[in-house]
Chains A and B, each alone.
Chain A
Amino acid sequence: MITKKTKKITLNFDRMILMAKKIRIGWFTFTCCEDSTILFTELLNTYYKEWLPKLEFVHARILRKDDANEIQQMDIAFVEGAISSDTQETKLKQIREKATKLVAIGSCAVTGAPSNQRNLFNAEQNVQIKEILEKFKYKEKVLKLADVVTVDESIPGCPMNEKLFLLLMEKYLNAQS
């Protein structure tokens, strides 16, 4: 009896720890207009009381200054924007290494467009932008996230599809509780 009771208490305690543990998330932005970041901050208007007790913002430049110099381990990395440079590609790979799940957020991350519009420029347009591309070492082509790393989930849309994002949040929050 004593053993059983002790076990039961231990299980409940484990569950309490699990319930208290926040989901560690990162919100990152590469080449884009940050429309989905803005939409996320607007969704917080409605959901902050529900989400904030359950989420730990490990990285989110729009909301807070990072506590550490290196990218931290995360449960979920939400990544907005396309990849325009080798430095961005390196950072995306670092994020992938540190994130259990990586979610591509919005059209530029999922498809590359419209940030990849220079990929389709004609010769005259390419002449106009050539100097800038060379000076700042742009990649030859703008890439979507899946061209660089494995993407676990995608929320398309320009800005991101709000309903799909809310469904995904519900899934992750339910899995945690």
Chain B
Amino acid sequence: MHNPNFDFIPGSKDFKIQLDEISKIEGAASLEVEVKDGRVEDLKFSISEWKRFYTQAIQGKPAVAVPSLVSRICGTCSNAHLLASLKAVENAFDITISQQTLLLRKLLYHGLIIRDHALHLYIFALPDVFKKNSILDFDMEDPVQHNMLDDAFSVKEVGNKLSIVIGGRSVHAPFPTVGGFLKLPKIDDIKTMRNELLSIRPKILSLIELFAKTSFFHEVQAPFVFTSLVSHDFSYLEGEIRTSEGNTIQQSNFDEHLHAVIIPYSHARGFSFEGNLLMVGAIARLTLGKQYLNKKTLKDTEKYLSFFPTKNLFYNNLAQAIEILHSIDQSIELIESVTTIAPEPPIKPVLKETSGVGVIEAPRGTLYYKFEINKEGVVQKGEIIVPTGQNQVIMERAIKEIVENLVRLGATKEKIVYEIEKFIRAFDPCMSCASHFLKVNWK
């Protein structure tokens, strides 16, 4: 259950905390902390989702069928898995998608970013700002809280609808396929989304201001590296991988820089970047590519963009709010640019023995797919590296720092637990994604 178990004497510097289920995150995770003499002796952040073994399940399946299967890895970012795996298969078969397909995929993806970040910010993180257990506890007699509740559902709905218009469904979208779309959206339906997107823009400006003004603060003391895919239009789908150390990495070589970290008590594996702590996600994307945000977004968020780069990882919330605005502005521009939808059939792959990599920025960070495919077009091996795995090690390290700071300040047990959960929620981990893979040794 969710309530923590304590072995804690007020004022004591020796105690244990056990959180069996962390609430308001995607999936299941638990935390155990043991403090002795004011120092964290033991800390275990465990992903407690039970594996579904997708890296094994895709073996022996036709490559063209795999994207719709792996989209089932995660409910909330399913379209990220869909598009990353489509990209890997298309790269393997040397398929260059049309400009129309690329535009539609970008729109589909902006819909995901709006919906997914809104779920996190309004439903998971916002109650922490208002010191409430749940958004469902917001006071309807209070105009600010009432508006926030209304905003939450109207913003999510626009992102949801954009994904439905383009992909046929916001979760496990059925229309995108290898080489294009099985069914193309109607131009009139696309055009109607413009005004809907415009209608939520002021709500996101308020949300940005709210998260910019929160006092949530923890600067990670340990050295770490930000990495993200950076593209000229901040599309999340294209570009090259950059690091906060100034390096550029080709997408196909990304896995060579990630080193798996076995976490014995967790169902998921963590990663380091060339041996360093690694942080991916919205905060990394703004740090490395904020100059490529939509011009309207840049203009309206100028004073908040100056907060980045930052070591205050709570600003991941602010970064996500700014990304929602970018996805709104960018979607409006894309919708205004399109005049017709041409009846393009999907490009069919010419089967051969091959391999391919697909990298995109999932809502929570860089998502990597690699497939080895035989001459019949059947997947022999797959490797999937998800953002939460990349963030797991630094998340655990930061929690340790937070607990030690709070113990030094003589915080109560309730305060310590509240701060830990608030921090984990700011990371926006996705346990469904993180727990379903096994390390595959590539030859």
Contacts and interface: CB of A to CB of B under 8 A. Distances in A.
Chain A complexes with chain B: yes
Interface of A: 29-39, 41-42, 44-46, 48, 52, 57, 61-71, 84-85, 88, 114-115, 117-118, 121-122, 125, 128-129, 132, 136, 138, 158-159
Interface stretch (B152-160, B190-198, B202-210, B231-239): B152-160
A34 B26 contact: yes
A52 B135 CA distance: 11
A118 B53 contact: yes
A29 B57 CA distance: 22
Contacts of B69: 114
Contacts, number: 138
B432 A128 contact: no
A138 B59 contact: no
Given A31-B49, A34-B27, 4 more contacts: A33-B73, A42-B156, A63-B24, A122-B60
Contact of A132 (B123, B149, B153, B438): B438
Interface of B: 1-3, 21, 23-24, 26-28, 49-53, 56-57, 59-60, 69, 72-76, 78, 115, 119, 123, 127, 133-137, 149, 153-154, 156-157, 160, 169-172, 267, 421, 432, 438
Given A33-B78, A36-B75, A114-B52, A63 B27 contact: no
B171 A45 contact: no
B78 A31 contact: no
Given A41-B156, A42-B157, A117-B52, A70 B1 contact: yes
Nearest to B138: A52
A63 B115 contact: no
A52 B51 CA distance: 33
A34 B75 contact: yes
Nearest to B55: A128
Nearest to B57: A117
A57 B172 contact: no
Contact of A69 (B1, B135, B432): B1
B221 to A, nearest CB: 28
A88 B51 CA distance: 13
How would you classify the secondary structure of chain B's contact residues: helix, strand, loop or mixed?
Answer: loop
B12 to A, nearest CB: 22
22 contacts: A29-B27, A33-B72, A34-B26, A34-B27, A35-B72, A35-B171, A39-B171, A42-B171, A61-B21, A61-B28, A63-B123, A64-B133, A67-B3, A68-B3, A88-B50, A114-B57, A118-B53, A129-B53, A129-B56, A129-B438, A136-B50, A159-B172
B26 A132 contact: no
A39 B163 CA distance: 13
Contact of A42 (B50, B72, B160): B160
A100 to B, nearest CB: 20
B18 to A, nearest CB: 12
Contact of A57 (B27, B134, B156, B169): B134
A69 B75 contact: no
Nearest to A106: B75
Contact of B171 (A38, A48, A121): A38
A71 B267 CA distance: 25
A132 B266 CA distance: 11
Nearest to B52: A115
Contacts of A64: 23-24, 127, 133-134, 136-137
A61 B123 CA distance: 11
Nearest to A66: B2
A65 B2 contact: yes
Contact of A34 (B1, B21, B421, B432): B432
A88 B137 CA distance: 29
B156 A125 contact: no
Nearest to B19: A65
